[in-house]
Structure 1
Amino acid sequence: MRVLILGIDGYLGWALALRLVSKNHEVYGMDNLSTRKAVEEIGSDSAFPLPAPEERVNAVKKYLDADIKFYKGDITDKEKLKEVIKESKPDVIVDFAEQRSAPYSMKDLDHAIYTINNNLDGTLNLIYLVKEIDPSIHILKMGTMGEYGTPNFDIPESAFIEAIINGKKDKIFTPRWGGSIYHFSKIFDSYLLAYFNQLFGLTITDIMQGPVYGSRIPEIVNESLRTRFDFDEVWGTVVNRFCVEAVLGLPLTPYGKGGQTRGFISLEDSVEALRLLIEHPPKQGEYRVVNQFMEIHSVNEIAQIVKEAGEELGLHVEIKHVENPRVEAEEHYYNPERRILESLGFTPKRFMREEVKNIIEDLLPYKERLERFKDVIMPKTKWRK
């Protein structure tokens, strides 16, 4: 298949590109490198040094004997996106090209506006250009389980649910409530995708993915092929952040009570699930929602898992709760449904208890590099100033 990955320079984008070329798919990618700049803006960097895009493409040729065509461009630039879609002629477009950090979106008004404009302008450009150029293209859009918040009901794996309104049955969009400006941008993404699916008959997979953790997939056979790995308070997901804290001898820092519970997935399982969804698209004209996670853990459970893994590797690891900078339920009900991936034959390969050891082992050679950025790990971005 011909696959265009928007946001190919990112954590998931690059890992997915490696997986797809290893399976003989034809991969094209576009990125404006904004994550590199935004991470630098807050004084941080990837735990693993990242080559320039051209060097990464050359490394794929050298070590995987495959080609990736890279375009530098921004999906909010309608003409550039049109040019890339026309040239690459994709069967599927994978959209990772959004501002993906909740804390970044909550820093101030400018960052909130940037998040909304970047994410929604890009989504609208993609929708209208696919309709114009080739409506048969499958749009595979990365959403987040965070769109649902933490409701006191089981989270279905469907766009609509039945409800009784004024004594009559009706269908309503599955209720959502974001925990940041970033999450609300993703919620509106889903509304746009569902609406234009009905309006234009576009074929769409809207992935509600839980936080991803991990530092390796089998295709990373050389350091020059590594994907980025963020660990600071703005860009780092909780598992990856805790692993860096363990390596640096810092206390693991659950926010507040630490009872916040989410569905998590390893980097390996994420890219494999994405590959399956690409190779098994929905019916033409269908809007498919997929809840993509493998394990449910609280932040306290994750801290304990990382502590035990670190101690097995000879590290001294402590846990120290800190004030929660976010506005969120710290103890709550959480029960999302998951069935579509299993119906496609997916079975998870990596689980958190084993994988955090791999992460720590991968990070240890970079301890000196990580020391330079330890001041950006503790939370500074607060939802209520």
Structure 2
Amino acid sequence: MRVLVLGGDGYLGWPTALHLSDCGHQIAVLDNFARRGYDEELGVRSLVPIEDLDTRIAAWHEVSGQRITAYTGDLLDAEFVYRVLAEFKPEAIVHFAEQRAAPYSMIDRQHAVYTQHNNVIGTLNLMYAVAELDPSIHLVKLGTMGEYGTPNIDIEEGWLEVEHNGRKDRMLYPKKPGSFYHLSKVHDSHNLEFGCRIWGLRVTDLNQGIVYGQQTPQTAQDARLATRLDYDAVFGTVLNRFVIQAVLGEPLTVYGTGGQTRGLLDIRDTVECIRLAVEHPAEAGEFRVFNQMTESYSVGQIAQLVSECFPGPVQVEHLENPRVEQPEHYYNVKHTGLVGLGLQPHLLSDTLIESLFDIVAANKDRVDLNALLPTVRWKGGVKTA
């Protein structure tokens, strides 16, 4: 199958491209390298050194014998998007090409506007290109579990059967996102569902949990194939921060009470979820939603698990939560769709023991301790009386 991976230079886009290529698909990647630009803007860098895209592609050809085509450009450039689709003629498109960090979107007005404009308009350009050039293309779009927020009811897979005043209907699950980034993903989902209804598009929306891990079977074959590992307070994940702090002998910094619960999954499961979605496409006119997660933990539980798995003493320190979110909440997510397609999940405790501590230890000299501390506050960009 011909698969175009948008955001193919990124943390997940690059290993996804390699995984699909290794499974026999013909791959092209597209990127504008904005993610590397965010590092320059914020003065941070990946804990694990990463090569430029040309070097990565050449290394993959050397290791596997497979070729990957590269396109450099921006989804905000509609003419470019149309040109790439007309030239490569993909049968499936995997869409990672968005600004993905909640804290980045909450820095100030400029970053909120940039995030929404970049994400929503880029996806709209892509939707129109698919609808006008080849509506049979299956669009696999990376959403986020953060679209749902933390409602006090079970979270279904995208859709909800509702009965109101004696009448019933099936509608998109109500969304309660916690940042301007997550809001942009909600807008994407609504736009894509609309495109399925009016144009007959075929879309799989993957509401993904927090991804952990840095290696897949493909990236582990050569150091030049490594994907990034973010740990800073803007783009890093809580798990990466805790692992680095444990390795360095620093206290694990838990925001608030640590009662905030989220869905998680291993990076190896992420790329496999994409493969399963690509190889089992949605029907024409279908807006299919999968909740892409395998386990759920509270922040406090993650800290406890890191403490138990790390072969040494670990301390925990509670900080004032820079975010506006419920400190304790109900969280029960349905996530059976991908398992039904054949996903066999990895467990967080196994990943910690197998690789993360060793990867961090090998690169600990690259850690900037100041980057671990929160600098963005959800109310910080708004002037109050």
Interval of TM-score (by shorter of Structure 1 and Structure 2)? over 0.9
> Deviation digits for residues 120-177 of structure 1, max 9, x if unmatched?
0111001000011101000000000110000011111133x22233332233321101
Q: Which residue of 1 aligns with 2:198?
A: 199
Alpha-carbon offset, residue 10 of structure 1: 0.7
Among 334, 342, 360, which residue is 2:331 paired with? 334
Q: CA contact under 8 A between 2:196 and 2:284: conserved in structure 1?
A: no
Q: Which residue of 1 aligns with 2:208?
A: 209
Answering whether residue 358 of structure 2 is matched by residue 361 of structure 1, we say yes
> Deviation digits for residues 243-275 of structure 1, max 9, x if unmatched?
122222221111100011111000001111111
Unaligned runs of 5+ in 1: none
Counterpart Cα distance in 2 of 1:214 and 1:202: 33
> Deviation digits for residues 181-217 of structure 1, max 9, x if unmatched?
0010001111001111101000000011100000111
Q: CA contact under 8 A between 1:157 and 1:289: conserved in structure 2?
A: yes
Report the TM-score, using the length of structure 2 for normalisation. 0.96
Q: Which residue of 2 aligns with 1:190?
A: 189
Counterpart Cα distance in 2 of 1:124 and 1:195: 11
Alpha-carbon offset, residue 284 of structure 1: 2.4
Answering whether residue 173 of structure 2 is matched by residue 181 of structure 1, we say no
Q: Which residue of 2 aligns with 1:384?
A: 379
Q: Which residue of 1 aligns with 2:168?
A: 169
Counterpart Cα distance in 1 of 2:102 and 2:169: 33
Counterpart Cα distance in 2 of 1:361 and 1:39: 24
Q: Which residue of 1 aligns with 2:51?
A: 51
Pairing 1:86-97 to 2, within 5 Å after superposition? 86-97=86-97
Counterpart Cα distance in 2 of 1:172 and 1:20: 33
Unaligned runs of 5+ in 2: 381-385
Pairing 1:302-317 to 2, within 5 Å after superposition? 302-310=302-310, 312=311, 315-317=312-314
SS in 2 for 1:253: strand
Q: How many pairs were matched up?
A: 378
Percent identical residues: 47
Q: Which residue of 2 aligns with 1:226?
A: 226
Counterpart Cα distance in 2 of 1:239 and 1:294: 15
Pairing 1:179-328 to 2, within 5 Å after superposition? 179-220=178-219, 221-310=221-310, 312=311, 315-328=312-325
Alpha-carbon offset, residue 64 of structure 1: 2.0
Q: CA contact under 8 A between 2:306 and 2:352: conserved in structure 1?
A: yes
Deviates more, 1:99-108 or 1:58-67: 58-67
Q: CA contact under 8 A between 1:39 and 1:235: conserved in structure 2?
A: no
SS in 2 for 1:326: coil
Pairing 1:100-139 to 2, within 5 Å after superposition? 100-139=100-139
Report the TM-score, using the length of structure 1 for normalisation. 0.96
The 3 A distance-change label for structure 1 pair 158 and 108 is closer
Alpha-carbon offset, residue 70 of structure 1: 1.0
Deviates more, 1:204-213 or 1:164-173: 164-173
Amino acid in the other structure paired with 1:363:
V
> Deviation digits for residues 230-249 of structure 1, max 9, x if unmatched?
00000011112211222222
Q: CA contact under 8 A between 1:205 and 1:288: conserved in structure 2?
A: yes
Counterpart Cα distance in 2 of 1:246 and 1:356: 12
Counterpart Cα distance in 2 of 1:44 and 1:339: 37
Alpha-carbon offset, residue 286 of structure 1: 1.2
> Deviation digits for residues 250-305 of structure 1, max 9, x if unmatched?
21111100011111000001111111111111222211000110011111111111
> Deviation digits for residues 291-331 of structure 1, max 9, x if unmatched?
11001111111111112222x2xx44211111100000111
Q: CA contact under 8 A between 2:138 and 2:203: conserved in structure 1?
A: yes
SS in 1 for 2:254: coil
> Deviation digits for residues 314-369 of structure 1, max 9, x if unmatched?
x4421111110000011100001111112212211x21112123111012111111
SS in 1 for 2:252: coil
Counterpart Cα distance in 2 of 1:5 and 1:384: 35
Q: CA contact under 8 A between 1:157 and 1:290: conserved in structure 2?
A: yes
Deviates more, 1:240-249 or 1:99-108: 240-249
